[in-house]
A and B are shown apart, each in its own frame.
Chain A
Amino acid sequence: GNSVTQMEGPVTLSEEAFLTINCTYTATGYPSLFWYVQYPGEGLQLLLKATKADDKGSNKGFEATYRKETTSFHLEKGSVQVSDSAVYFCALNHPGQGAQKLVFGQGTRLTINP
């Protein structure tokens, strides 16, 4: 079945550092890929998405590129801020195969220190 694996956390960085959170997936064909973010005390928010190979999703300075050859969708940001502290979830679904449900990774907790 479909699955998502994220790098284990927690991740702690200093403000203005470069961020990478690794995400790899297992699925046949071409799933849609997502990053969701959960800020403390809040619900899941869509951060960015990509629906086909080589697409780049971007939002709020974050980027992720859909890499079919490595089955990856790593999240990157060039200069993190304290306000980026949150839990980040990589996810996929497969609407082309009738699989609407999202399959999530276990989440990566990110803490940014001033």
Chain B
Amino acid sequence: DTGVSQDPRHKITKRGQNVTFRCDPISEHNRLYWYRQTLGQGPEFLTYFQNEAQLEKSRLLSDRFSAERPKGSFSTLEIQRTEQGDSAMYLCASSSSGTTDTQYFGPGTRLTVL
């Protein structure tokens, strides 16, 4: 499978715990994006990398959230001291700057904070 993959697919945690999600983009894609989707809404942009550089962060990305892409390949999104309001689907997408920059999405990680 050469699509975008995310791990885990589901995560249940207790309020106050830290969680980390991983995204593996399509191998030749140099751009990687994180979005958050809550029930009944469209995805909202969180942050974006080109290679290993984090080029844009949304105001939604509070200081409890941190994203990395250390070698320009996979990325991790960490949420510290989770809150119930963090419950959502976290989506990763990747694209190539050399083409029309169409973003392809992974299956998402569903986070439930109890």
Contacts and interface: CB of A to CB of B under 8 A. Distances in A.
Interface of A: 4, 32, 34, 36, 42-46, 49, 51, 89, 91, 93, 95, 100-107
Q: How large is the interface on B (under 10, 10 to 19, 20 to 34, 35 or more residues)?
A: 20 to 34
18 contacts: A32-B101, A34-B102, A43-B106, A43-B107, A44-B91, A46-B102, A46-B103, A93-B101, A93-B103, A100-B31, A100-B48, A100-B55, A101-B45, A102-B93, A104-B43, A105-B42, A106-B40, A107-B41
Contacts of A100: 31, 33, 48, 55-56, 95, 101
3 tightest A-B CB contacts, nearest first = A104-B42, A101-B45, A44-B105
Interface in B42-77: 42-45, 48, 55-56, 58
Among B43, B58, B104, max chain A CB count under 10 A is at B43
B107 A32 contact: no
A44 B107 CA distance: 7
Interface of B: 31, 33, 35, 40-45, 48, 55-56, 58, 91, 93, 95, 100-108
A91 B44 CA distance: 11
Given A44-B93, A100-B101, 17 more contacts: A4-B42, A34-B102, A36-B105, A43-B91, A46-B103, A49-B100, A49-B102, A89-B42, A100-B48, A100-B55, A100-B56, A101-B45, A102-B45, A104-B42, A104-B43, A105-B42, A106-B42
Contacts of B45: 101-103
A101 B106 CA distance: 16
Contacts of A44: 43, 91, 93, 105
B104 A101 contact: no
A46 B42 contact: no
B33 A101 contact: yes
Nearest to B3: A43
